[in-house]
Amino acid sequence: MWRHFAALNHIPRPSGQEAAARAYVQKIADESGAAARTDAGGNIIVRVAARGASEQAPTIAIQSHLDMVCEKRPDTEHNFDLDPILPHREGDLLYAIGTTLGADNGLGAAAALALLTTPDLRHGPLELIFTVEEETGLQGAMALDASLIKAEMMINIDSEDTDELTLGCAGGAETFIKLPLGSAPIDSPQLIGCKLVVSGLKGGHSGVQIHEPLANAIKLLAGVLRAADAAGITFSLAFLTGGSAHNAIPRDAIAELAVAPEAMQSLEKIVAENFADLRAQWAENEPGLSVTLNRIECPRQVLSPSSQRELLNLVENVPHGVLKMSEVFPGKVQTSTNLAGVHFGEGVIEIASSSRSFVAEDLKQVQQNIRSLGIAAGAQVEMSAGYPGWEPDPNSQLLKITRVAYETVYGKPARVEVIHAGLECGVIVSKKPTLEAISFGPLIRGAHSPEENLAISTVEPIWKLLTTVLANLA
């Protein structure tokens, strides 16, 4: 399992660029004498013959995804298209140097490959399903050719808490506000250019960590600009950007401004005061928070006053965070949204939101509310169809067998939970409704951020759980 994980982390595998990782899976399948097939969506399915199983043993799918979220610290030199992930160990935790580790879901893919290359295991027929583009909205699973799947049960190895067996997940969808980019040339050669930067935040997974006290850099940046505006400081906004992935809470945001010389001292004072207030507010949960204002060459073009006003209104009013807690699953978030990104494009400023819910109607309502904000600002709005949730089946035979295996391995009962994040189980089960599914995995924290870490001591028990379940099913 560790060997395959190391090999995958030497292979660059951003979403949409999984060809080399898929070739590695194909190579291992060929060396093991297993049949592999790639579907039109780029997913690869490897069929493994039964070993030491009864003739009645069911076919089991083992499912993981090949891509990873590519996040790095601002001071880290790393090209995710070319460079390998460089791990380093701190006690029982494995990190990467300045980047995401890729344990999500490299460990799951490694576990599936280890089933293929480990002799003397006992299991029925297996279908190893390696999907692509999971991190960009479960695109690979959405495109999966379900006719290739003969399994009756599926084990997804993409959960991140060893104390839990996951039996359900939220559905999700994205909303894109595309505000027309109205611009105007700088009309005064005396204006000063400056860059306002919010950085050093932890970020994190926009589903499973959305309820945690994690700041959104875009929201903080907009708040500082709003404070400057409220103080009567006139500035012209030339550029604003933040966020890098729909499923990551934004860690950094940048704005470029043009300011009159006589207003510069007041702006510096407001930024310093706001930084002090934010540092006090977030001292415990965001100790790395930084707010800086530096002078740069003055921009030649700035936003028109109306575009600037609408952009700041939208960034302030588009929701972010927990919207509703679940009454069915105590302590679980039911509905949330992540203000995921603001980016300037060809003639438009795009504001991206990623929303999640266990309730399909809630999800639609959140998208409609964000759409209404965009329409009121004169923007075009696109709403993705998203992906379905996974409804839990507490009477699943696979759940019963896995619970027994869990107690054998861990010496204690497992908690059965649902997760406020997208798992491919929901998509695949929607394509094959008779499929029983369950998800588990090693302990991973900080996924989708450079703080992603894997608890090394939890890997071997997960391997034992997986092989014990398969042996019992055989």
Q: What angle do CA 320, 226, 351 make, to 5 degrees?
A: 40
Q: Give pLDDT, residue 304.
A: 93
Q: Give pLDDT, residue 28.
A: 98
Q: Give pLDDT, residue 245.
A: 87
String of DSSP letters for 315-366: HHHS--EEEEE-SSSTT-EEEEEEEEEEEE-SSEEEEEEEEEESSHHHHHHH
Q: Give pLDDT, residue 197.
A: 98
Enter the tokens of residue 402: 């896995």
Q: Give pLDDT, residue 330.
A: 86
Q: How far apart are CA 237 and CA 254, in angstroms?
A: 11
Enter the tokens of residue 6: 């190391």
Cβ atoms 68, 136 nearer than 8 A: no
Q: Give pLDDT, residue 346.
A: 87
Distances in Å between the alpha carbon of 30 and those of 41, 48, 52? 21, 11, 22
Strands (E), 245-305: 253-259, 290-296, 301-303
Q: Give pLDDT, residue 384.
A: 93
Residue with tokens 């999700």: 172
37 beta partners: 45
Cβ atoms 340, 334 nearer than 8 A: no
Q: Residue 425 class from Cβ within 10 Å (0-12 exposed, 13-18 middle, 19+ buried)?
A: buried
| Residue-wise burial string across 271-293, b where 16 or more C-beta atoms lie within 10 A, e elsewhere | beebbeebeeebeeebeebebeb
418 beta partners: 168
Q: Which of 134, 160, 164, 424 is catalytic?
A: 134
Asked, as a colleague might, if the bond just before 105 is cis with ω within 30 of 0, I would say yes
Q: Which of 18, 39, 67, 451 is catalytic?
A: 67
pLDDT beneath 70, residues of the chain = none
Q: How far apart are CA 109 and CA 158, in angstroms?
A: 9
How is domain 173-383 classified at the CATH fold level?
Answer: Alpha-Beta Plaits (3.30.70)
83 is an active site residue: no
Q: What are phi and psi of 361, to 5 degrees?
A: -65, -35
Average pLDDT, whole number, for the chain?
95
Cβ atoms 169, 390 nearer than 8 A: yes
pLDDT digits (tens, 9 = 90+) for 423-436: 999 999 999 999 99
Q: Give pLDDT, residue 291.
A: 98
Coil vs helix vs strand at 393: coil
Coil vs helix vs strand at 262: helix
Number of CB atoms found within 10 A of residue 401's CB: 18
CATH of 2-170+389-473, one of 3.40.640.10, 3.40.50.1010, 3.40.50.300, 3.40.630.10: 3.40.630.10
460 is an active site residue: no
Nearest to 269 by CA among 224, 306, 311: 224
Q: Give pLDDT, residue 329.
A: 83
Q: Give pLDDT, residue 422.
A: 86
CA dihedral 280, 282, 285, 286 (to 10 degrees): -110
Cβ atoms 302, 236 nearer than 8 A: yes
Nearest to 128 by CA among 19, 5, 11, 43: 43
Q: What's 241's DSSP letter?
A: E
Number of CB atoms found within 10 A of residue 455's CB: 17
Q: How far is CA 114 from the centre of its chain?
A: 25
Cβ atoms 273, 238 nearer than 8 A: no
Strands (E), 358-397: 380-383
H or E stretch covering 268: helix 261-281
Q: Please state at what angle helix 217-230 crosses helix 261-281, rounded to 10 degrees.
A: 130
Q: Give pLDDT, residue 327.
A: 87
In the chain, what are the domain boundaries? Answer: 2-170+389-473, 173-383
Cβ atoms 304, 253 nearer than 8 A: no
Q: How far is CA 336 from the centre of its chain?
A: 14
Q: Give pLDDT, residue 189.
A: 80
